Structure 1
């Protein structure tokens, strides 16, 4: 297919190139020629840049080529981002895993250059242990050495300050779930672009290989099951609370212009690699979420008055954007998001949910409310276990999971600041209410209005 001048894309990936920019159903495709793609990418694009095996890989190949070129890594321009991951996984393993052929000197430390161990001390220790037994874990097939590689079976995608840590910690108590640190690698939304911390400029990109290394402890346990001639029901996942909403990396690739929207989102990449994955989102009243977010991430001079002032300022900025651009453009406007002193956009859940449902089917996305989880964690965890097709638990294990202490509660010093001002609550309720109503319609569940 090298040299072809036209390709297929998901309709939802390039809204700027489509009439009406409306949400399209999953699986829809449109034929786009090179001239159309150039309008989207805003710089010359050659036909050779878009030659790949099939449409699902094409999305990844093109965007990776563009990102590489913009960062002047010309030597990588013909390598698809996900080329290390095959289209099919092992049939006797529930979790998506495959054997990867090894090339080169296998005696060198396979984790020596991994960028994650520079950020997480716990990861350094795990990699040191894995490195010592690396050659013993290799298998041989047709005279070639292989290692087992795995991706997450599920993703807890968000939202921040909505209970993702508590879900994660309770999930790991299920005997068929293996979760390894860090809880939030933020690879899909940030580190694959080279963004270490939110708001920073890109540095060195974290390749997919480095992300896969995080799941090697799980791969080792699955491999032991396979060596015992049995199938494996073990699954793994991760819980980066930025996955659902954070697409700010596009600021450094495209910049912002009036009415501009990202040409593709995190979910487009996940779908390209894992079209059958499972997604879990937990949400809370966006008014309460914003105050919790302010208390957790704020530093000096936190107070109910300071929060009120920041809310008023951010509301003026966001509403000013809406006068010049559409809702979706403002939600994904990286410049605006960085300028606002509180993260209003994170609570506009319906925008993100609709975008995820434009790529994944409804039965792949489980949406929970923190309020329900806090009231009855046993029920919410049972819903998650069914969603992930996990085995039944004994009554004793169910009690252990449901009675575990709440993870990541509000700090005592933040509790001492008291609640937000009634006037602040009124402003935020007025702002979020229409979006909550729309979310309830999309999910067909009135509890997501948070009016009950």
Structure 2
């Protein structure tokens, strides 16, 4: 945690959880520096209490994390693509599913189940056509367990499956509804990464990041915030003004994760503060458990990027397979973004000024200058 602590000193309020526990507070045996989530009274919110659930014991002869729950065979994902929205995550998943050992799930595009950040928290009503208040067991029902039970020619259970909800990297808006969080608190204490780690501690996490300015522009149209480059400019100006007002009296983390405040922003600028979102996941997971790569590198070298990903997932694709996969047509092109045309130069200048210090902190932390995006929007004269 030393590196994170040093970085947090340069970004006040990002990692306030590092403050010492108060007197008489029992420390979590699983997450050092955090209070025990199961000690003392908890609220009844209707949200399943995953942090105090006994985690499953996975079968040792399966590559994928699976277990027997009485008479039901259940599995969790071997890997989780946690982000980032509008960075070609669906395109990536389509290529991953070409591998014979990787099984799609029953979600959207064989990828998205919307469980960790959305469906488990909303306990009443529906989100589109989906029932809310999903439990962990209902989440496991979205994986093709019969296919995961098949064996290879050596009798090994080597099939794996994944989950790919790109909002999981940044969307903490419903997490005040966790039993361990205090209503009205200025900051969240417990967040989704802890729950993921508790039930699936060895899950492999994939994170694809894209130039935060250009990604935000795509996110804006995808989320139907507006319809033109001019509306985007006007909404960015308003959002930055309100962002500065919030951060003048609250921590950065509060302003990013506070849902009432986020609803006042006509452009979702809070999504592109990558270093803040990454540190939230690094509270629960070691750095080596997250493979971080750029959309820009993936786009120009699909074969090379996919080779790195398969190595991380402990899969061994053939050269022929990699070539076929790299030659697959792009999965999706945003018609809304294309019809809007390029971003206005004055908008880009505002966003470059906003995000540059956070990019530089991200690049320094990762030890990789590519994540400053000086080859894209943040090029210096």
TM class by shorter chain equals 0.7 to 0.9
> Structure 2: which 5+ residue stretches go unaligned?
5-11, 376-381
Match of 2:67 in 1: 98
> Which of the residues 277, 281, 284 maps onto 2:210?
284
Alignment of 1:58-207 (within 5 A): 62=38, 66=42, 69-71=44-46, 82-83=53-54, 85-86=55-56, 88-101=57-70, 146-182=71-107, 183-194=111-122, 204-207=132-135
Normalising by the residue count of structure 2, what TM-score does the alignment of the two structures yield? 0.83
Residues 258-291 of structure 1 show CA distances to partners (whole Å, capped at 9, x for unaligned) of xx21111110111111221110111111110111
Whose helix proportion is higher, 1 or 2? Answer: 1
Deviation of 1:244 after TM superposition, in Å, equals: 1.1
Q: Is 1:396 equivalent to 2:372 in the alignment?
A: no
Return closer, same or farther for 1:265/1:80 CA change in 2, 3 Å cut-off: closer
Deviation at 1:303, TM superposition (A): 1.0
Q: Which runs of 5+ in 1 are unaligned?
A: 1-11, 13-19, 38-49, 102-145
Other-structure match for 2:8: none
Q: 1:198 to 1:407 in 2, by over 3 A?
A: farther
Q: CA deviation at 1:233?
A: 1.2
Shift of 1:62: 3.4
- Equivalent of 1:312, from 214, 237, 240? 237
Report the count of equivalent residues. 356
1:352-367 matches, within 5 Å, as 352-367=277-292
C-alpha distance in 1, partners of 2:14/2:240? Answer: 26
Q: Is the 8 A contact 1:60 1:272 kept in 2?
A: no
Judged with a 3 Å threshold, the aligned counterparts in structure 2 of structure 1 residues 276 and 80 are, in CA distance, closer, same or farther, namely: closer
CA contact (8 A) 1:439 1:448 kept: yes
In structure 1, C-alpha distance between the alignment counterparts of 2:53 and 2:252, rounded to whole Å: 32
Deviations 1:227-269 (A, max 9, x none): x981111110110011111110134564545xx2111111011
Q: Contact (CA 8 Å) 1:65, 1:80: kept in 2 or not?
A: no
Are the aligned partners of 1:189 and 1:249 in contact in 2 as well (CA < 8 Å)?
yes
2:220 corresponds in structure 1 to: 294
Call closer, same or farther: CA 1:186–1:167 in 2, change over 3 Å: same
Match status 1:422 vs 2:342 = no
2:192 aligned residue: 266
Query: Could you tell me which residue of structure 2 aligns to residue 211 of structure 1?
Result: 139
Counterparts of 2:41 and 2:142, CA distance in 1: 25
Q: Aligned match of 2:228 in 303, 316, 323?
A: 303
> Which TM-score applies when normalising by structure 1?
0.71
Q: Distance in 1 between matches of 2:41 and 2:112?
A: 26
- 263, 274, 277: which one aligns with 1:349: 274
The residue number in structure 2 matching 1:382 is 307
Change in Cα spacing, 1:203 to 1:157, as seen in structure 2 (3 Å) is: same
Q: Distance in 1 between matches of 2:67 and 2:158?
A: 15
* 8 Å contact kept, 1:159–1:241: yes
Give the 3 Å change call, closer, same or farther, for CA 31–263 of structure 1 in structure 2.
Answer: closer
Equivalent position SS for 1:408: coil
- For 1:193 and 1:64, the matched residues in 2 are separated by 22
C-alpha distance 291-198 of structure 1, shift in aligned 2 (>3 A): farther
Partner of residue 248, structure 1: 173
Point out 4+ residue stretches in structure 1 off by more than 6 angstroms.
28-33, 58-61, 195-200
Q: Structure 1 residue 440: deviation in Å?
A: 0.3
List per-residue Cα deviations over 1:352-376 (Å, max 9, x = no partner): 1122122211110011111111111
- Shift of residue 428, structure 1, vs aligned partner: 0.5
The answer to whether the Cα contact below 8 Å between 2:78 and 2:204 also exists between their aligned partners in 1 is yes
Q: Which residue of 1 aligns with 2:260?
A: 335
Separation (CA, whole Å) in 1 of partners of 2:146 and 2:284:
32
> Deviation at 1:94?
0.7
Name the CA shift for 1:149/1:252 in 2 (closer, same or farther; >3 Å). Answer: closer
- CA RMSD in angstroms comes to 3.4
Task: Describe how 1:225-236 pairs up with structure 2 within 5 A.
Answer: 225=151, 230-236=155-161
Q: Secondary structure at the residue paired with 1:224?
A: coil
CA distance in structure 1 between the aligned counterparts of 2:127 and 2:209, rounded to whole angstroms = 23
Larger Rg: 1
- 1:447 maps to 370
2:13·2:251 contact (CA, 8 Å) conserved in 1? no
